[in-house]
């Protein structure tokens, strides 16, 4: 089983497409096509029901932390109960994302991304100490070509983007942690709430936009562009106004203390210089205004970048946002349902149509090669997930004349003595999942 560093487990086709791709592969006999569709249909219904229960548990634990809640609560939770519920939310959130073939971006990776230049050349900083909880996952690491205008010409550049980014944060309680330097003071985020967001098409180096405590500052290039030309322009100006500056000092001493002090300090000042004082001041002031105007122009360029940054942050949060808070759960549950069903369908199909026994490693390689050869799609198929799920799908196959009580439950997938995978035939697989579906509730 080959492990790829440059591939994802995400399967970029819908469940319906995967079913049709298997059928069009031509290895199933004509008499089995409808049975295969029926098996897939009841499998999808089973997983929809199964993950709906996960959604309800997740929403129940998230309720006290939901910043968008518009309902009242009759329960008064203790601190220990809230801590337990918080842990369940964070843990379940990560589990659902992994079921949907998202992968985590850890703090160290985020910090490295922040050090790289974004589309707008500004230095960003995120203080992770502001957060009590921070979970970030992504999916779809691809490249897209973007067009830019620079120096009156259009250029194209390939940008590394994430097709999906999921972020969960909970801020630290400032009072409980005895912290005064909190960069979240102006964000209006409550330390008692958990904030969850899902975004699409986020450039890898622009993930900083998604954090509420992002700070921006000048890059080294910006500082040099501001300081070096300013120094270059200031030196000749200073050399020009220095004699006049000494003359101004001398005139002030002349007017305040008299000519004797001017001679003692060896300054230049006489009655004629006092008469020309207005012209000297105006000349010096004009040079200083020129220098100040140049510095202001350089600083304005930096502020323009800052405004562009804020504009891009606003556009990212508005146009690239898919869902927030509790609304994220429904989308992620749907993603998890899609991915788990697609994986099981692929595993079941390839075991059903294989002419030889396959170990998990051989099955993994077979599915990856099938996707690449037939659909030019490279994936790093996660074989362990669907195999574990299929062994947990257990039910009874009660045939005519048999007593339900005397029939033992069996799994959809088993292993033979050589460690090879084997699945039930289509008819039995349909009956097994139908039995599970019929016995989902035991109220009678």
Residue 186's pLDDT is what? Answer: 57
Tokens at 376, concatenated: 């030019």
Alpha carbons 90 and 215: distance in angstroms, whole number: 26
Residues ≥6 apart with Cβ < 8 Å to 285: none
CA 137 to chain centre: 6
Domain chopping of the chain, boundaries: 15-61+329-438, 101-217, 220-307
Burial class (CB in 10 A: 0-12, 13-18, 19+), 219: middle
Residue 437's pLDDT is what? Answer: 87
pLDDT digits (tens, 9 = 90+) for 314-357: 766 778 899 999 999 999 999 999 999 999 999 999 999 999 99
Residue 371's pLDDT is what? Answer: 94
Helix axes 326-353, 384-392, angle to 10 degrees: 90
- What's this model's pTM, rounded to 2 decimal places? 0.77
Helix axes 277-319, 220-257, angle to 10 degrees: 150
Alpha carbons 297 and 292: distance in angstroms, whole number: 9
Nearest to 163 by CA among 141, 143, 147, 137: 141
Asked whether the CA dihedral 80, 82, 84, 87 is positive or negative, the reply is negative
Nearest to 413 by CA among 399, 435, 430, 429: 429
Written as one string, the DSSP assignment of 200-254 is EEEEGGGGGGGSTT-EEE--HHHHHHHHHHHHHHHHHHHHHHHHHHHHHHHHHHH
Residue 370's pLDDT is what? Answer: 95
Strand partners, 361: none
Mean pLDDT by 10 residues, the chain (444 residues): 75 93 93 94 92 92 92 84 94 94 90 69 79 93 74 74 93 68 64 93 84 74 65 64 59 57 52 52 61 68 69 72 93 95 96 94 95 91 94 88 80 94 94 88 70
Query: Strand 410-411 vs strand 394-395: parallel, antiparallel, or unpaired?
Result: antiparallel
Residue 288's pLDDT is what? Answer: 63
CA 72 to chain centre: 31
CA torsion 29-32-37-38 (nearest 10°) is: 180
Going by the DSSP 8-state scheme, the letter that residue 9 receives in this structure is: S
Residue 170's pLDDT is what? Answer: 94
């Amino acid at each position: 089983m080959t492990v790829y560093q440059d591939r994802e487990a995400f399967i970029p086709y819908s469940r319906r497409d995967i079913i049709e791709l298997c059928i069009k592969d031509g290895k199933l006999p004509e008499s089995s096509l409808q049975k295969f569709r029926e098996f897939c249909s009841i499998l999808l219904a089973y997983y929809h029901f199964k993950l709906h229960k996960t959604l309800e548990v997740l929403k129940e634990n998230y309720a006290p932390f939901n910043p968008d809640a518009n309902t009242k609560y009759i329960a008064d939770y203790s601190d220990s109960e809230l801590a337990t519920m918080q842990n369940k939310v964070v843990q379940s959130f990560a589990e659902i994302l992994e079921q949907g073939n998202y992968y985590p971006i850890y703090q160290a990776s985020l910090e490295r991304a922040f050090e790289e230049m974004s589309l707008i050349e500004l230095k960003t900083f995120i203080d992770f100490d502001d957060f009590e909880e921070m979970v970030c996952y992504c999916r779809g690491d691809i490249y897209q070509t973007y067009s830019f205008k620079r120096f009156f010409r259009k250029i194209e550049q390939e940008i590394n983007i994430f097709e999906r980014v999921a972020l969960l944060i909970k801020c630290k309680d400032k009072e409980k942690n005895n912290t005064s330097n909190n960069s979240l003071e102006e964000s209006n985020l409550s330390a008692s709430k958990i904030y969850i967001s899902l975004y699409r098409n986020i450039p890898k180096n622009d993930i900083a936009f998604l954090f509420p405590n992002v700070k921006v500052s000048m890059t080294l290039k910006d500082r040099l562009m501001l300081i070096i030309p300013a120094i270059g322009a200031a030196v000749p100006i200073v050399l020009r106004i220095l004699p006049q500056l000494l003359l101004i000092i001398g005139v002030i001493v002349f007017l305040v203390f008299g000519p004797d002090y001017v001679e003692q300090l060896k300054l230049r000042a006489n009655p004629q210089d006092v008469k020309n004082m207005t012209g000297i001041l105006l000349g010096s002031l004009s040079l200083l205004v020129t220098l100040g105007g140049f510095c202001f122009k350089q600083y304005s360029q930096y502020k323009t970048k800052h405004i562009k940054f804020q504009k891009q942050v606003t556009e990212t949060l508005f146009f690239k946002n898919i869902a927030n808070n509790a609304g994220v759960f429904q989308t992620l549950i749907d993603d998890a349902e899609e991915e788990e069903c697609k994986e099981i369908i692929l595993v079941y199909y390839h075991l059903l149509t294989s002419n030889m026994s396959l170990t998990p490693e051989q099955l993994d390689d077979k599915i990856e090669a099938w996707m690449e050869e037939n659909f030019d799609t490279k994936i790093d198929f996660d074989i362990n997930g669907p195999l574990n799920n299929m062994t947990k799908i257990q039910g009874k196959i009660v045939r005519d004349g048999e007593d339900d009580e005397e029939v033992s439950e069996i799994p959809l997938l088993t292993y033979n003595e050589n460690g090879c995978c084997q699945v039930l035939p289509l008819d039995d697989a349909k009956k097994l999942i139908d039995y599970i579906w019929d016995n989902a509730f035991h109220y009678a």
